[in-house]
Chain A
């Protein structure tokens, strides 16, 4: 699935993979790809500004953590981030249910042969 198709849902995807605990930027990228079995294509470089934006909105917080000689910025959900993720999930379920009911209508009694 192309990166453009993911774009509108990127915030929700990032919040979702951070739900289980803090991760640094590259771990967030690999988590999204692993959870989608490699189906979702990300323009990996754009994940960093996206994480920065979510932090600006107060949905994430981050700290620099030392990893040997390297330093990594680790992100975790704030309470507002958890609430936002719950809303995203709810909206997504309603959306997919509505689209699904149009694309794959349940066979009604009138359609029985």
Chain B
């Protein structure tokens, strides 16, 4: 975490070591984590300057600042709580934006095939209806989670298990997307405009990868210890 642009407080800098340990203990969206850790580092440098006997912070002042700010074990749960919520919001946002895309892709494929007088088999139509329903419910749950962790949290406490619920919502949405991509690939064999079906399948499998990765990260964050508010 050393930055040549910042004032040095010693060769084996306790602040850099502390910040590196904290960063290693935390999991969550990279940007949010970097921002919080950078802020903490700036605060530690300010504190070391205040505590130093001379104009420049020394090793002892840096060590004292680290002690005053709290050990990694003491402060990491507070940081992790915010990062877990940030990851849950990221996953919820991804599900909310991507799940409706599934409906759009199916609509395009069906409309095109309907216009050419060909129809997908009933089994495929039924599966599509169910997958569409799953995607719609997942998007609604994701929107509710975003509200519950945003302005609504001023009035209502955020449920402790909400990030885990968001993680599983994302996992279900990712599964629906994967099944949809597979169905579209198979349906392309019967479709009048198979390039359109294949293109829709590629779009959906890309979306699946995005949602699945975010949901996996959310599940990992939800398992970590956090401080209760």
Contact = CB atoms under 8 A, between A and B. Distances in A.
Interface residues of B, number: 32
A10 to B, nearest CB: 10
A95 B227 CA distance: 26
A53 B86 CA distance: 10
A44 B69 contact: yes
Contact of B69 (A45, A56, A58, A70): A45
Instruction: Please report whether the interface of chain B is mostly helix, strand, loop or mixed according to DSSP.
Output: helix
Instruction: Please report whether the interface of chain A is mostly helix, strand, loop or mixed according to DSSP.
Output: helix
Interface stretch (B77-85, B179-187, B200-208): B77-85
Interface in A13-53: 24-26, 29-30, 43-50, 52-53
A29 B151 contact: no
B122 interface: no
Contacts of B38: 71, 73
Given A24-B42, A26-B42, A46-B78, A56 B150 contact: yes
A70 B36 contact: no
A93 interface: no
Contacts of B133: none
Given A24-B42, A73-B35, A48 B79 contact: yes
Nearest to B5: A69
A43 B75 contact: yes
Nearest to A55: B82
A106 B43 CA distance: 46
A88 to B, nearest CB: 11
A18 to B, nearest CB: 15
A52 B79 CA distance: 9
Contacts of A48: 36, 39-40, 43, 79
B100 interface: no
A57 interface: yes
Contact of A70 (B6, B75, B78): B6
B25 interface: no
A70 B79 CA distance: 22
B40 A45 contact: yes
A48 B36 CA distance: 7
B70 interface: yes
Contacts of B43: 25-26, 29, 44-45, 47-48
Contact of A25 (B42, B78, B82): B42
Given A25-B39, A56-B85, 6 more contacts: A44-B43, A46-B70, A46-B78, A48-B39, A72-B42, A73-B35
28 contacts: A25-B43, A26-B46, A26-B47, A44-B69, A45-B40, A45-B75, A45-B78, A48-B36, A48-B43, A49-B36, A49-B78, A49-B79, A49-B81, A52-B32, A52-B36, A53-B82, A53-B229, A56-B85, A56-B150, A57-B150, A57-B151, A58-B150, A58-B151, A69-B5, A69-B6, A71-B42, A73-B35, A73-B42
Interface of B: 5-6, 32, 35-36, 38-40, 42-43, 45-47, 50, 68-70, 74-75, 78-79, 81-82, 85-86, 149-151, 153-154, 227, 229
Nearest 10 CB-CB pairings of A with B: A45-B69, A45-B75, A26-B46, A45-B70, A26-B43, A49-B78, A46-B78, A69-B5, A49-B82, A44-B69
